């Protein structure tokens, strides 16, 4: 039985993400939490006739169908506690999004405190849940989440993920304009590093199957993946940042975590993790000089089971991108750690 929880469920990402989770047969119970509008969103989603299914390919035996349960809470009357109790997977898209001209770092002032307080709730009410952090700046909010869990004595690095899947999705989609590949999701492109601007490092040289990108098109393609979020922020003209594509990406990652936990083998996805706590991560931390980094991670029943070090395979141009990435990441990670230990 899987209970998924969305913190920030009434927002631009939260609502479509909750819809996808409600429609997923992998989710038995969905609980929504926000500071506003959760009763409405919950009532709306509760009319959907979707069911939870135990897929026979995951669990041997006849297909068992179950009715899904959905609940929604506001902060009053222990809402956060009620939402989180019994949670297996918690997704956090709570916080403000960017407006034109803003960087993800500009969101730190408000979102850092929101993520800290929500993760304090997770530490207390569902310390064993898998935590999927979407709120920006991910490069800082994941270290914040880790420090909060450490302070509470319940940190399990295998269970904490920064969701960088949208960068992978964008790389798959944008490369299609060049290759003409009919099914972009069939091309696996590792995107590593962090989740903002130059810290996002797409590795087209390691695409599988290999892709042919004319030299003059490569630099603009990389830039588009790194700054693709700005296209959406500008097109929305002040009404927010990516929400629908992010909900798709967040759901895609959550689905993989749930499938891996249920026993499906061979699932590997890039995600922003605390390297020293994941098998294989130490070596990557040594090479990058940072403790948090997005790399392809093998997912399994205990969460992030193995970090894959693909750094030795990157080409010379990608090595240069990685240098800029490391410099940018370092400051953002330190800022997150500092925020928890010396709150402003
Ligand atoms: P939004 O403003 O539409 O929704 C945020 C929701 O969070 C609102 O419903 C708000 O009431 C709620 N909220 C605020 N404080 C809360 C608290 N203390 N507890 C619970 N809920 C709270 O924003 P949107 O567009 O959904 O974006 C959410 C976050 O996701 C932003 O930080 C944005 O930058 C980030 N994001 C991350 C991406 C990624 O790739 N990881 C991609 C796109 C956005």
Complex-level ipTM: 0.99
322's enclosing H/E stretch is helix 316-341
Tokens describing residue 209: 């199957």
Q: What is the pLDDT of residue 52?
A: 84
**Catalytic: which of 195, 224, 326, 330?**
195
Distance of CA 240 from the midpoint of ligand 1 (Å)? 10
- With beta carbons less than 8 A apart as the criterion, state whether 280 and 306 touch: yes
195 an active-site residue? yes
pLDDT in tens, 107-144: 999 999 999 999 999 999 999 999 999 999 999 999 99
Cis peptide before 209, with omega less than 30 degrees from 0?
A: yes
Ligand 1, atom 29: closest residue by C-alpha: 135
- With beta carbons less than 8 A apart as the criterion, state whether 213 and 180 touch: no
- With beta carbons less than 8 A apart as the criterion, state whether 287 and 311 touch: yes
| CA 167 to ligand 1: nearest atom | 40
Tokens describing residue 334: 């330190």
The low-confidence residues of the chain, meaning pLDDT below 70, are: 54-64
Distance of CA 51 from the midpoint of ligand 1 (Å)? 27
Tokens describing residue 240: 């927010």
């Amino acid at each position: 039985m899987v209970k998924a929880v969305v913190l920030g469920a009434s927002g631009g990402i939260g609502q479509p993400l909750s819809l996808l989770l409600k429609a997923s047969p992998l989710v038995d119970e969905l609980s929504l939490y926000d500071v506003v509008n959760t009763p409405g969103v919950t009532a709306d989603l509760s009319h959907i006739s979707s069911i939870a299914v135990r897929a026979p390919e995951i669990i041997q035996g006849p297909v068992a169908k179950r009715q899904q349960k959905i609940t929604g809470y506001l902060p009053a009357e222990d809402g956060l506690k009620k939402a989180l109790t019994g949670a297996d997977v918690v997704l956090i898209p709570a916080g403000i999004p960017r407006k034109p001209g803003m960087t993800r770092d500009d969101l730190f002032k408000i979102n850092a405190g929101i993520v800290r307080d929500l993760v304090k709730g997770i530490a207390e009410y569902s310390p064993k849940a898998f935590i999927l952090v979407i709120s920006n700046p991910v490069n800082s909010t994941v270290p914040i989440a880790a420090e909060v869990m450490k302070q509470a004595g319940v940190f399990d690095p295998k269970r904490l993920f920064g969701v960088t899947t949208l960068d992978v999705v964008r790389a798959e989609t944008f490369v299609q304009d060049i290759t003409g590949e009919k099914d972009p999701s069939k091309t696996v492109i590792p995107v590593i590093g962090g989740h903002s601007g130059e810290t996002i490092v797409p590795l087209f040289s390691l695409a599988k199957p290999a892709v042919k990108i004319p030299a003059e098109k490569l630099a603009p393609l990389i830039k588009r993946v790194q700054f693709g979020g700005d296209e959406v922020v500008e097109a929305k003209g002040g009404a927010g940042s990516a929400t629908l594509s992010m909900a798709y990406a967040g759901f895609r990652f959550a689905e993989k975590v749930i499938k891996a936990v249920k026993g499906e083998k061979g699932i590997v996805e890039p995600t922003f993790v605390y390297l020293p706590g994941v098998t294989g991560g130490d070596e990557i931390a040594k090479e990058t000089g940072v403790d948090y980094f997005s790399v392809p991670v093998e997912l399994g029943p205990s969460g992030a089971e193995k970090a894959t070090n693909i750094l030795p395979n990157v080409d010379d141009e990608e090595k240069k991108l990685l240098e800029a990435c490391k410099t940018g990441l370092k400051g953002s990670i330190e800022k997150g750690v500092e925020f928890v230990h010396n709150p402003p």
